[in-house]
Structure 1
Amino acid sequence: MAVQRAAIPVRPATSADSRLVAATLARAFIDDPALAYLFPDVLTRPAKLLKFFSTAVRIEARPADTLIAGDGAAMTIWRPPGAWRTSPLAMLGVLVPLVTTFGTALPRALRLQALIESHHPATPHWYLAFAGCDPTLHGRGFGGAAIRSKLRDCDHAGIPTALETATAANLAIYAALGFAVKGEFDAAPGLRFWSMWREPVPTR
C-alpha cells in the first residue's frame, strides 16, 4: 500500500519574512541563466543575489502575494492583474540598493527588464515573478506546493496566469502545472526566454 505524503503547508508572507524570502530565492537562483548573465562572477554571485532579492522583496507592494511553502523551503512572488510591471516609482525608491548591487551592470539589467516587459502579455492575469526552492530540498514538492496554492485561487476566480523562464529544464515542470509556451525570445547570445501562459481550470 502506497504511503501518502503529508500535505505541504503554504502560507502568505509577512513583512517579517523579507530576509527569509530573499535568502531562499538567492540560493534557488544561483545557477539561473538570466541572473548568471547579470552576475557572471561565480565568486561574488551569492552575495549579489542576496542583495538583489533583498531589493526585489522591498519592491513588492503586498507581502501577502508572496507564498512560503514548507516554512521557508520554497517561495513564489506573485503580482496581481494590472500590476505585473515594476513601476518607475518603485524603482526610484530602491535606486541606491540597485546601484550598489549591479554597479556598472545596472544599464544592462534595465535593458533586460525592458526587453522582458516588451514581450509580456497585456491580458489581465496573475504574474509569477519569481519561484524558487532551496537547492538542498529539490524534488520534495515544496516548489510545486507554493505554485499550486496560488493556481487554485486563480482557478476559482477564473483568472489566467503568466510567467517567463530562462531555464529550459523548467518548461516541463511548468507544463505539468498547466502552463504552455506562448513565445520565446533571445535576450543575449546564449540567453533565451520562454513566455508561458496558463488558462484557469474550471472548478465546480
Structure 2
Amino acid sequence: MATIRSAKVEDIPALAELLSVAFYRDPVMCHLWPNDKQRAARMPIYFAANLRHHHLPAGGVDVAEEGTTIVGIAVWDPPGHSAQSTMGLIRSLPALLRALGTRLPAAARLRRTLDAAHPHTPHWYMCLLATKPELQTTGVARTLLAYGLERADAAGEPTYGAATRAVMTPFYRSLGFRDQGDPIDLDSTGSQLWPLWRDARSADS
C-alpha cells in the first residue's frame, strides 16, 4: 500500500527520472522532442528544472512511496501558481535551454496554446500524474489523485487538468471531473489535449 507525502528537493533526480520514463511516449513530450534519443536524454533535465524552480516552491507536489521507493508523483500547482514566476523562469532558463535547444520555439508555442485554454477561475492545476510503468493499473495514480482532490475539497477549491490521451478521460471522470470545452489542438498533426474541470465537493456530497 502506497503512502503519500510532500516532495522534497532531494527527491528531484528520482522524480525527474520517473516522469521521463512514464511520459516517454506521451503525445505532448513527443510533440516537444520528435526524436526519440533526444527526448530520452533531455526530458530528465526539463522535468528537474521545472520541479526545482517552479512546482516544488509552490508546494503542490505529492509523491507515493512503497517502503522507501518512490512509485508515483502528482504535480499540482496551487491556486495562483500555475504560471511560473519571473525569478523562477530566470533560474530555470539555463537548464531549459539545454533541454529544449532548437525546440524552444515549439515549446513557446505550446505554452501559449495551453495558457490560452487555461481557466481564469482560481483552481488547483493537475499538471502531471505518473506512476512507475510496472505499477500502472495498481491504484497508485488513483490514490495520488484522490489525495490531491481531498486537499482541494477541504479548501473549497476546484481543480483543472488536461488529459493527453482521450482514453484517460474516463479515469478522471470517475473521480468527479467533467469535460471543460472542446479538445485543445496542439499542432497541425492532430495532437490534442482534453481539458477537464472538477468543482469542489463538500464532505457530505
Give secondary structure in 2 for the equivalent of 1:62.
Answer: helix
Give secondary structure in 1 for the equivalent of 2:70.
Answer: coil
Match of 2:62 in 1: 67
Q: For 1:117 and 1:86, locate their aligned partners in 2 and report how far apart those are by CA, in whole Å.
A: 11
Q: Residue 56 in 1 paired to residue 50 in 2?
A: yes
Over 3 Å counting, the alpha-carbon distance change for 1:74 and 1:63 in structure 2 is farther
Deviation at 1:109, TM superposition (A): 0.2
Over 3 Å counting, the alpha-carbon distance change for 1:87 and 1:111 in structure 2 is farther
Match of 1:198 in 2: 198
Q: Quick check: 1:14–1:64 contact (8 Å CA) kept in 2?
A: no
Q: For 1:31 and 1:51, locate their aligned partners in 2 and report how far apart those are by CA, in whole Å.
A: 17
Letter in 1 for 2:202: P
TM-score by length of structure 2 reads 0.91
Q: Quick check: 2:9–2:52 contact (8 Å CA) kept in 1?
A: no
Note the residue ranges of structure 2 that are not aligned, 5 or more in a row: none
Q: Quick check: 1:126–1:162 contact (8 Å CA) kept in 2?
A: yes
**Structure 1 range deviating more: 165-174 or 26-35:** 165-174
Match of 1:3 in 2: none
Q: For 1:27 and 1:68, locate their aligned partners in 2 and report how far apart those are by CA, in whole Å.
A: 16
Report how many residues are paired.
198
Letter in 2 for 1:110: A
Match of 1:187 in 2: 186
Deviation at 1:166, TM superposition (A): 2.0
TM-score by length of structure 1 reads 0.91
Q: How does 1:169-180 map to 2 (within 5 A)?
A: 169-180=167-178
Deviation at 1:77, TM superposition (A): 0.9
Letter in 2 for 1:102: L
Deviation at 1:64, TM superposition (A): 4.1
Q: How does 1:7-18 map to 2 (within 5 A)?
A: 7-18=1-12
Deviations 1:92-121 (A, max 9, x none): 221111111111110110110111011100
Q: Percent identity?
A: 29
Give secondary structure in 1 for the equivalent of 2:109.
Answer: helix
Q: Quick check: 1:13–1:63 contact (8 Å CA) kept in 2?
A: no
Give secondary structure in 2 for the equivalent of 1:169.
Answer: helix
Q: For 1:88 and 1:171, locate their aligned partners in 2 and report how far apart those are by CA, in whole Å.
A: 33
Over 3 Å counting, the alpha-carbon distance change for 1:160 and 1:12 in structure 2 is same
Q: For 2:163 and 2:108, locate their aligned partners in 1 and report how far apart those are by CA, in whole Å.
A: 17
Q: For 2:103 and 2:165, locate their aligned partners in 1 and report how far apart those are by CA, in whole Å.
A: 21
Deviations 1:139-186 (A, max 9, x none): 111111111111111112211000122211211111111111112221
Letter in 2 for 1:129: C
Q: For 2:41 and 2:131, locate their aligned partners in 1 and report how far apart those are by CA, in whole Å.
A: 18
